[in-house]
Amino acid sequence: MLKSSLCCISAWLGLALASRPSVVLYELPQYLGQSLTVASSDDAAATLAQWSRPIFSIVVDPATEFVTYDDAGNSAVWHHSTSLLGNWPYKISSFRVQPATTNTTTTSSIQAPWSYIGSGEGYLMVRNSSSTVGQPECYSNDGVNCVTATSVADLLGVPTQLDVALHPAQCGADHSMYWGSTGYESPSSWCYLARAALSSTPLLWDCVQGSNGWVALSPNNSLVGSTSWSVACLGAALALCGVFAIFSRSTTPAAVNVEATYCSSVGEAETDDDLESVYRTPV
């Protein structure tokens, strides 16, 4: 009888410990380097003294939040596993692990239209915010870091990845909480560029296959060189070009049709101009 009771108590303790919300801290971005698992019952001061490293990324249990504090009284709430903790890695002075206060398991619909822009961080997908009127948001898996690529073509298949969680990253107050700025202070930031791109009127270009690859045609079917495109450049580098409104389609591009929806060779055959494009997915 005593042995049975001890087994039951041991099992109960095991379940209780396993059910405690926990967060894994990493000393490097992308969940690399040394790690430490912390739970809701852990003392933050003692844990940080033991850790004595920056916290660049975290893995958060489902239905759990990680709240961080700095010495200036600022705080940030991290709802999901995050590959880079904004501007927080070196300034966390305290933390709290707690059950989520909001539903963090629901992902945002990926059927809303996305536009593709270039920024200093790379090419990324943006749209008007699904939660905050008047603010842009970018395609993100953690609500903090935008998914970026070195070309628009690499992003065209992203909306079809239904098995990947979508938690868009916001500009404005949320951006300030994670990064220390609203995102509009610099004209090269993705928030600034996205707002400019989304407020512009998209141009209805079409992409057809020519003898030298895919080319862009204007609505009257005339070939258009790169100098005629409506592009708002905020710097000399192409990476800082903010508005790339190129064309629209009636269906989302399938992976096998990526080239058909991406005009990489734009302009006359004798030129070697490559102008990255924007694809607007349907509503």
Domain-located, residue 129: yes
* Residue of 137, 233, 251 lying closest to 183 (CA atoms): 137
Domain-located, residue 276: no
Across the strands, what pairs with 243? 232
Going by their DSSP bridges, the two strands 232-233 and 241-243 should be labelled as antiparallel
Considering the domain architecture, whether residues 37 and 91 belong to the same structural domain is answered as: yes
Distance in angstroms (rounded) separating the CA atoms of residues 233 and 45: 48
- pTM higher than 0.85 for the full model? no
Distance in angstroms (rounded) separating the CA atoms of residues 227 and 233: 12
* Residue of 131, 145, 265 lying closest to 211 (CA atoms): 265
pLDDT of residue 260: 30
Considering the domain architecture, whether residues 120 and 187 belong to the same structural domain is answered as: yes
Point out the domain boundary residue: 174, 199, 224: 199
Domain-located, residue 133: yes
Domain-located, residue 269: no
How many domains does the chain contain in total?
3
Considering the domain architecture, whether residues 176 and 214 belong to the same structural domain is answered as: no
In tens digits, the chain (283 residues) has pLDDT values of 434 444 443 444 343 444 578 999 999 999 999 999 999 999 999 999 999 999 999 999 999 999 999 999 999 999 999 999 999 999 999 999 999 987 655 555 555 678 888 888 888 989 998 788 889 999 999 999 999 988 777 777 776 555 677 899 999 999 999 999 999 999 999 999 999 888 876 655 555 555 655 555 555 554 443 323 333 222 222 222 233 333 322 233 332 223 333 343 332 333 333 333 333 333 3
Point out the domain boundary residue: 99, 131, 160: 99
**Residue 235, Cβ neighbours under 10 Å: how many?**
12
Domain-located, residue 125: yes
Considering the domain architecture, whether residues 70 and 89 belong to the same structural domain is answered as: yes
Domain-located, residue 236: yes
pLDDT of residue 230: 30
pLDDT of residue 45: 96
Strands (DSSP E) contained in 50-120 are 57-60, 64-69, 75-78, 94-99, 115-119
Domain-located, residue 70: yes
Provide the residue range defining the domain that includes 234.
Answer: 206-240
pLDDT of residue 10: 43
Considering the domain architecture, whether residues 192 and 222 belong to the same structural domain is answered as: no
Considering the domain architecture, whether residues 173 and 233 belong to the same structural domain is answered as: no
Contact present, 243 and 230 (Cβ < 8 Å): yes
Question: What distances in angstroms separate CA 237 from CA 66, 127, 140, 149, one per listed residue?
Answer: 38, 23, 25, 16
Considering the domain architecture, whether residues 192 and 229 belong to the same structural domain is answered as: no
Domain-located, residue 280: no
Report the CATH number that the domain containing residue 55 is assigned in CATH.
2.60.20.10
Considering the domain architecture, whether residues 94 and 58 belong to the same structural domain is answered as: yes
